[in-house]
Amino acid sequence: MVRFRAWNQVRAFCLRCSADREVARVAGFSTKTRHGLQPPESSSKELRPTKDLTFPGSLRMEDLSREELLNVIKAAVVEQEGSLVTINKPQGLPVTGKPGDLTLLTVLPDLSQSLGLRDQELQVVRAPAKDCSGLVLLSSCPQTTSHLHKFFTHSRRVQRPTALYCAVTDGIPAASEGKIQAALKREHINGVELVVPVKPPSRKQVLEGVKNTLSYFRVIATGSGCALVQLQPLTVFLDQLQVHMTLQLCPVLGDHTYSSRVSTVLGQRFLLPAENIKPSKQVMSEALLRCLLLTSSQAAQLPLHLHLQSLFLPGPRPQDAPNEFRAPLPPYFSRTLQCLGLHQ
């Protein structure tokens, strides 16, 4: 009942904040069909090797002007209902950055005007990290934004998942499903800030930035030595899901930060000490490169295959099922599923 009360409070704020009162009709983003995941292209279509280093669905920010980025984001809008907007963020687009950087936040005022929100500037409620793709939840009502933040915070406190990611991993987890628990902290190693696992923290260490993290995982499909995995984080920490899958000896495909911690000797994988490793381009086996139809130089540019697929929010009434808001897979992700024979 708590979660429904929380959402009803959000609904009330939406009704007061939306100038045209349209959100009254769509208290839970409405109940009409959402955009679902796009399945991989038919396996009957012949796959050809990638001729260049471009991966559709991934952004090279250095190549974009502010106007071009705005057009990309406008094309990525999944749905707009009253004060609430959802976007399917391309991989490589940072949400925040240093002053002067081109980010999602820097173009939100322009996006707000383009979407007809007048002086109601959009704010980020929930978004995946730069190297991830997937669903971004925006609101033009400050009170709605605040109450949605409280809803997500409460859900984490009671360990109720509200987000579902999908990932392709290099390697197959030993168990088909389970949970991953690890105490993590940020640490400067060889001049680079990385997230590393540590022993269960004391109270003093928690104050110093060590956090106990938890994720659920489920293997959906396997093929060619890889797996399609669903991930539900119950906590929020920088690079949590990449580190968790590395600890399972199955780094996310396109993880050029943590995958170097996994090494192989005589066909057996093991974890190298974090302090001895520098981030480097992910090394793939010749067999995997052949499956992906990539050269080693192309594989070094492969985007991270970690996609925020769904967000879950309560329906407007207690008897309503939770609403699931989905973001289609990027084209490069779908191509990888097809190459590896990973059928959902």
pLDDT of residue 313: 84
Q: Where do the structural domains in the chain lie, given as residue ranges?
A: 2-41+53-161, 165-299
Q: Average of pLDDT values for 221-236? A: 97
User: Can you tell me the distance from the alpha carbon of 118 to that of 112, in angstroms, rounded to the nearest whole number?
Assistant: 7
Contact 307, 165 (CB under 8 A): yes
pLDDT tens digit string along 244-272?
Answer: 999 999 999 999 999 999 999 988 999 99
Q: What is the pLDDT of residues 112-170, one digit of tens each?
A: 999 988 778 899 999 999 999 999 999 999 988 988 898 899 899 999 999 999 999 99
Confidence (pLDDT) at 323: 81
Confidence of residue 40 (pLDDT cuts 50, 70, 90): very low
Residue 6 pLDDT greater than 80, yes or no = no
pLDDT band (50, 70, 90) for residue 42: very low
Of 15-29, 57-71, 263-277, 292-306, which range is least confident?
Answer: 15-29
* Percent helix / strand / coil, the chain, rounded to 5: 30, 25, 45
User: For position 47, what pLDDT does the model report?
Assistant: 63
pLDDT, mean of residues 307-319: 83
Nearest to 234 by CA among 166, 162, 296, 315: 162
pLDDT tier at 231, thresholds 50, 70, 90: very high
Q: Specify the range with the lowest mean pLDDT, choosing from 9-23, 54-68, 80-94, 199-213.
A: 9-23
What 3-state class would DSSP assign to 233?
strand
Contact 118, 60 (CB under 8 A): no
Give the strand pairing for 226-233 and 163-170. Answer: antiparallel
Looking at residue 344, what is its pLDDT?
A: 64
Closest CA to 11 of 124, 150, 147, 156: 147
- Whether 48 has a pLDDT exceeding 70, the answer reads no
Over 60: is that where the pLDDT of 3 sits? no
Average pLDDT (14-33) is 33
Residue 8 has pLDDT above 90, yes or no: no
For the chain, where are the E strands, in sequence order?
A: 77-81, 84-89, 123-126, 133-139, 163-170, 177-189, 192-198, 211-223, 226-233, 262-265, 268-271, 306-313, 323-326
pLDDT score at 292: 96
When pLDDT is averaged across residues 75-94 and rounded to a whole number, the result is: 93
Q: How confident is the model at residue 206 (pLDDT cuts 50, 70, 90)?
A: low
* Percent of the chain with pLDDT strictly greater than 70: 82
pLDDT of residue 236: 94
pLDDT at 33 over 80: no
Q: Transcribe 76-130 into DSSP letters.
A: TEEEEETTEEEEEEPBT--SS-STT---HHHHHHHHHHHTT-TT---EEEE---T
